[in-house]
Structure 1
Amino acid sequence: MFQKVSKEVVISLVKAFIFAYSILGVELTLYWNGATDVYSIATTGQLIPFT
């Protein structure tokens, strides 16, 4: 009934789930707190990590 799944596939799926879950947590925190202007790099504090 069940097929054997390789260890690499399971690890990849877990990593993808953790990545999606962490992005969702950040985005929902910004949404729930009503943060504005978070999708632009208009200020120095948002621009410095890109240099």
Structure 2
Amino acid sequence: MRCLRGAAPEAFPDRQNFANLKTGGQLTSPTDAATRVLAWLDRADFGANPVADVREA
């Protein structure tokens, strides 16, 4: 499995933005992100909107 941090720049053009978010403490932990995704999948209205934001879960 490859990680984003080791990706070639052309494979992940937004890498610097991602790194800046991490440095600035603006990324959630993997555990929190997984919890939010699972909560989103468990919502009664899951699938009603074809574009969703798990931060709203």
Say yes or no: TM over 0.5: no
Greater helix content: 1
Greater RCO structure (CA 8 Å; 6+ sep): 2
Q: Scaled by the length of structure 1, what TM-score is found?
A: 0.35
- Higher-Rg structure is 1
